[in-house]
Structure 1
Amino acid sequence: MEEDVAQLSHAELVEKKFVLFAEECFGLFTSKIAASLVRYNGDRCVAVIDSLQAGRTVQDVLGYGGPIPIVSRVEDALHLRPEVMIIGKGLHSADLPESWKPHILSAVQNGLHLVNSIHYRLAGDPDIARAIRDKGVTVWETKDTPPVQLNKARVLDLDTWVIHTCGSDSNIGKKTAALQIWQEANRVGISTGFAATGQSGMLISGHGIAVDGVPGDFMAGAVEKVVMDAAAGNEWVVVEGQGSLNHIGFSSVALAILHGALPHALVFCHRLGAERTKVWETPIRPLPELIRLNEELSVFERPAKVAAISVNSFGFSEEDYRREVEKLEADTGLPVVDPVREGGARLVEILRAHQRETLDRLSDLQR
């Protein structure tokens, strides 16, 4: 294992081979950070730690990812030569689970750098802090707040076209839709930046901010900075969404992103079949109502419209998926795409057309 004394940058950390820590929670919807990293950075993932599913493969659990092994302990993955351990599960808590501490200590003692995705700062535990100092490993606290300013609406001065993925709940595919659009747009020659607003997006792209770790007054300003950075030299920016406006726990984050990003276009995300929000179990309002809510809360200086609906159809047969899509298109009057099932090409074409129509309309108003 590496025992570098020099601290590594975030960009350097995300390029290294890693083991994912998802103890007692690895799954598509139960450890979304881990699931996202397997999908987009799986070539660097050597193993997943989850003692409940040890002996299985990532493919067995997620339906993608191939033969990456699931093991019980850090020690079981050392022969695969990881350099970093990434905590692949966010928590609705500011505490460190007691059962996680031995795994984290073992990782540090074996010279692994750490990427922490929870609100608890690892140096807050005396034993872990001592081990970090002794081994000289790098710890990336993704929830640390960088220096930020209040939102100054500087995004309005950009020539870059800004797209934002909003939605009906947390953990339904806003990040995935944004990443699929980002990758496909660049593939077809539209230079596109990705504005990460959460840990998964940061770990996949190597930059961005965990907006839920920023003090309330500064969240929109933090998003503004991420969008400005991602816009440099690009025609489009895709802004990763968080939470939802109708979510009793995460509405403030969703609104801060909407107002900080000042998007030209929205892609509304939803998990097919979902009727209640996760964790809080509040009823999800009819989608046409939620779409109007997002459009109406975009700012007067740049009113944004939903161009398409991106759905997560995991678990649906092709026949059931097509039937649900037809119903949702009829209910909303909008095109519906699952960018994982179908790829991102159709969403990019829809957004291109939406951009042309919006620019034509603005041109007509200015005449």
Structure 2
Amino acid sequence: MGQLSHAELVEKDFVLFAEGCLGLFTSKIAASLIRYNGDRCVAVIDSRKAGLTVQDVLGYGGAIPIVSHVEHALHLRPEVMVVGKGLHSANLPSAWKPHLLAAVRSGLHLVNSIHYRLSDDPDIARAVQEKGVTVWETKDAPPVQLNKARVLGLDTWVVHTCGSDSNIGKKTAALQIWQEANRSGIRTGFAATGQSGMLISGHGIAVDGVPGDFMAGAVEQVVMEAAAGNEWVVVEGQGSLNHVGFSGVALAILHGSLPHALVFCHRLGAERTKVWETPIIPIPELIRMNEELSVFERPAKVAAVSVNSHGFSEEDYRREAEKLEADTGLPVVDPVREGGAAQLVEILRAHRRETADLPSRRRP
């Protein structure tokens, strides 16, 4: 069996591996793929929720079944198994290995979303060789150069989603803007900087797998590719500048993408960062931080605040959004609620018109 390209893998029907963790905030990759590529997901593996549907757990996704083992999904004829959760670790959980081996021995290709390279496990590597399947290590760093600020020479308008924490909706905001902008007639490219965005769009990089000196250059290259033939590029954010673990990644994306405009993302009601539990400093201060750290050759302003209001009633969402609007002086929108994506695109259109005459130095 010949090795498949990344573009070929993302077009195939797949089963999602989310053992013990399927949830909106506990399996970000799985939740994203179901939202945007759910028509190709035949089943989800999570023994704790087996017998339920994805709709039961996430509130969207329909009747996709949840099963306990990959063998229970084979009759649905998947061709790929996608690891639907990233880890804050470089190890392979011991409980995952039997599932991965079963998938390979059943002839499924693998998409690996964690830092551990599956080829480093001798049993998995041997099974992959014997079955001739493809393994996409999404954290493998592509060959890249240092950032040379080539983005400044593009005619394409660049929007970047930054935010107050990891796993709060930066990718979702970027994808919603990308899809809605194209629907409204604006040719728009999507610059994926993480594995979920790569699996949804079919291209991009996992910037957290790139050596530090080259992260901004990797982002620059992805933006250049996404800009071809497009009027806008929407750049997916990662981490946050105030994040004790992922601030470097956030800054590399900000400087590599050299955006014209920012969309600041926040999980409504959140007061501490996820996992690390550090206090989130006031949103107006975080907005100023992102604006001030944008490169002087192209100072970028936040055009809107995109919020994740999951779990809020419409009334509570409106009340909290109004408070945040008063605090920031900016429009606050949930891009997943009805009409939210269209509202964000219109805000960005207006922001582009209002900032069209601001100076922006271009390098020869």
TM-score (norm 2): 0.98
2:247 corresponds in structure 1 to 251
Q: Equivalent residue of 1:248, what SS?
A: coil
1:47 pairs, out of 39, 43, 56, with 43
| One-letter code aligned to 1:176 | T
| One-letter code aligned to 1:109 | R
Q: Does 1:61 align with 2:72?
A: no
Q: Equivalent residue of 1:255, what SS?
A: helix
Q: Equivalent residue of 1:258, what SS?
A: helix
Q: Equivalent residue of 2:101, what SS?
A: helix
1:106 corresponds in structure 2 to 102
Q: Does 1:118 align with 2:114?
A: yes
In the alignment, the residues of structure 1 paired with residue 356 and residue 197 of structure 2 have an alpha-carbon distance, to the nearest angstrom, of 29
In the alignment, the residues of structure 1 paired with residue 337 and residue 266 of structure 2 have an alpha-carbon distance, to the nearest angstrom, of 14
| One-letter code aligned to 1:350 | I
CA displacement 1:189-225 (0-9 Å, x = unmatched) = 0000000000000000000000000000000000000
1:172 pairs, out of 168, 172, 177, with 168
2:342 pairs, out of 345, 356, 359, with 345
2:234 corresponds in structure 1 to 238
1:268 pairs, out of 240, 264, 268, with 264
How far off is 1:360 after superposition? Answer: 3.4
In the alignment, the residues of structure 2 paired with residue 216 and residue 362 of structure 1 have an alpha-carbon distance, to the nearest angstrom, of 30
In the alignment, the residues of structure 1 paired with residue 253 and residue 297 of structure 2 have an alpha-carbon distance, to the nearest angstrom, of 16
1:289 corresponds in structure 2 to 285
2:84 pairs, out of 79, 84, 88, with 88
| One-letter code aligned to 2:232 | W
How far off is 1:98 after superposition? Answer: 0.2
In the alignment, the residues of structure 1 paired with residue 215 and residue 357 of structure 2 have an alpha-carbon distance, to the nearest angstrom, of 32
Gaps of 5+ in 1: none
Q: Does 1:144 align with 2:146?
A: no
| One-letter code aligned to 1:348 | V
1:336 corresponds in structure 2 to 332
In the alignment, the residues of structure 2 paired with residue 98 and residue 281 of structure 1 have an alpha-carbon distance, to the nearest angstrom, of 27
Q: Equivalent residue of 1:330, what SS?
A: helix
| One-letter code aligned to 1:185 | A
In the alignment, the residues of structure 2 paired with residue 153 and residue 361 of structure 1 have an alpha-carbon distance, to the nearest angstrom, of 18
CA displacement 1:315-355 (0-9 Å, x = unmatched) = 00011000001100001000000000133100000000000
In the alignment, the residues of structure 1 paired with residue 121 and residue 213 of structure 2 have an alpha-carbon distance, to the nearest angstrom, of 29
Q: How many residues align?
A: 359
In the alignment, the residues of structure 2 paired with residue 50 and residue 65 of structure 1 have an alpha-carbon distance, to the nearest angstrom, of 15
Residue pairs, 1:15-54, within 5 angstroms: 15-54=11-50
2:297 pairs, out of 301, 313, 316, with 301
Q: Does 1:13 align with 2:13?
A: no
Gaps of 5+ in 2: none
TM-score (norm 1): 0.97
In the alignment, the residues of structure 2 paired with residue 9 and residue 251 of structure 1 have an alpha-carbon distance, to the nearest angstrom, of 32
Q: Percent same amino acid among aligned pairs?
A: 87
How far off is 1:361 after superposition? Answer: 4.0
CA displacement 1:88-108 (0-9 Å, x = unmatched) = 000000000000000000000
Q: Equivalent residue of 2:355, what SS?
A: helix
How far off is 1:185 after superposition? Answer: 0.3
Q: Equivalent residue of 1:140, what SS?
A: strand
CA displacement 1:64-92 (0-9 Å, x = unmatched) = 00000000000000000000000000000
Q: Does 1:210 align with 2:206?
A: yes
2:218 corresponds in structure 1 to 222
How far off is 1:234 after superposition? Answer: 0.3
